[in-house]
Structure 1
Amino acid sequence: MREALHRLEGERLVERSGRAVTVRRMTPEEILDIYEVRTTLEGAAARSAATRATALDLMRLKAAQEAMRAQRGGDPWERARLNRRFHQAMWEASHSLTTLDLLERLNSHLFLSAKTMLGVDERWQTVLREHDELIAAIESRDPDAARRIAEHHMLGARDVRMRLFAHDAPTGRAAAS
């Protein structure tokens, strides 16, 4: 347990105050920084996926997208889980272990926030449309389009996340997922 807490502290996911350990709160600047890096890495992953994805990778991407489309009821946490599954499939389709590792680490930092942006129906519909575009670019082996779509997708996510953060700022709750 102690080693796990040290590891989380080393990754700046928790912080110590005396003997107590608490989940660290993110600042707007940290969220912007994470999205700047994540946008670049998502673009790189999409670009690589467009040149390296196998037929199995494409099947996984499409299955993840279909699971998202089949989601009913608007549960934001279920939407977030399904969205992570889609992104994980895209990262794996890049066949870049380094990119996959870095994106997983960055994504873990976004869990420090209290909300998911996918509870907003308008954002959910945009996410579905952009995922369709990304799959089409990967399937047609267009690395430049795949990169551009992935980067645009991340910038949209960043903007929604920052609006939610600003909305919740007076209560001290950050918004991300």
Structure 2
Amino acid sequence: MAALSEVYERLRGEIVDGTFDAGANLVELALAERYGTSRTPIREALRRLQQDGLVERGDRGMRVRSRSPEEILEIYEVRIALEATAASAAATRHSDFDLIRIHKAQSAMDAVSQDPSAMAAANRAVHEAIWTASHNGTVVDLLTRLNNHLTRYPATTLEIPGRWAEALAEHHELVQAIEARDADRAGALARTHMTKARDLRLQLYREA
């Protein structure tokens, strides 16, 4: 019988990759048969996915959370503020080890070829290194949760022509500000960087 962690990861993966469309009903019995398990781990996995923001309660039980431009705006309204807070805090509080981790993540991002999934993963690693350098567990937790919400919008803004090079340049400026312990500049750069990401995310949604 599949364990809870396995059921959670499989169901989460199929929601993110679009196997279950936005708005699709998630029936416990059908899912239990699909994954070869009882309804108990399915129920617990759905509860965790609801906390992640990937599913919601509807009229007929749990369903895949729908997508909307309003939600994108809501997510980024909070994320922009938190990314700026994390960058400012990282500039003030970073250790030598934090800088090593940030530079390593950025170097790995610099080396990525035009593979969308690798680009997105490398970009996230840089942001996560900066979050960690903020030494603010609450900010890290909230940003992680917000990122979970965005996994329901699988297309990456980094695929838009010209955005990859632009994002790399913005990252380098941000890392320099953090290294220089310039909290105001780091916060402002992070805010600008994420505002552009929001606008491009909305563009992708409209085009889809």
| Post-superposition CA distance 1:120-147 (Å, at most 9, x none) | 2411111100110011000000000000
RCO higher in structure (CA 8 A, sep ≥6)? 1
**Does residue 57 of structure 1 match 2:104?**
no
RMSD across aligned C-alpha pairs, in angstroms?
A: 1.4
> Structure 2: 5+ residue runs without aligned partners?
1-40
**Does residue 132 of structure 1 match 2:156?**
no
Residue 37 of structure 1 aligns with which residue? Answer: 78
Q: Distance in 1 between matches of 2:131 and 2:52?
A: 21
> Structure 1: 5+ residue runs without aligned partners?
169-177
Q: Distance in 2 between matches of 1:25 and 1:77?
A: 23
Residue 152 of structure 2 aligns with which residue? Answer: 112
Query: What are the within-5 Å matches in structure 2 for residues 5-44 of structure 1?
Result: 5-15=46-56, 18=60, 21-44=62-85
Match of 1:102 among 133, 137, 142: 142
Q: Which has the larger radius of gyration?
A: 2
| Post-superposition CA distance 1:79-135 (Å, at most 9, x none) | 001111110000000000000000000111000113111112411111100110011
Q: Sequence identity, in percent?
A: 49
Q: Distance in 2 between matches of 1:64 and 1:10?
A: 29
The count of aligned residue pairs is 166
Check whether the contact 1:23–1:112 (CA below 8 A) recurs between aligned residues: no
If the length of structure 1 is used for normalisation, what is the TM-score? 0.89
If the length of structure 2 is used for normalisation, what is the TM-score? 0.76
Residue 186 of structure 2 aligns with which residue? Answer: 146
Q: Distance in 2 between matches of 1:89 and 1:11?
A: 21
- Partner-residue secondary structure (3-state), 2:202: helix
1:10 to partner: Cα distance: 3.8
Q: Distance in 1 between matches of 2:126 and 2:98?
A: 11
Runs of 4+ in 1 over 4 A off after TM superposition: none
Residue 133 of structure 2 aligns with which residue? Answer: 93
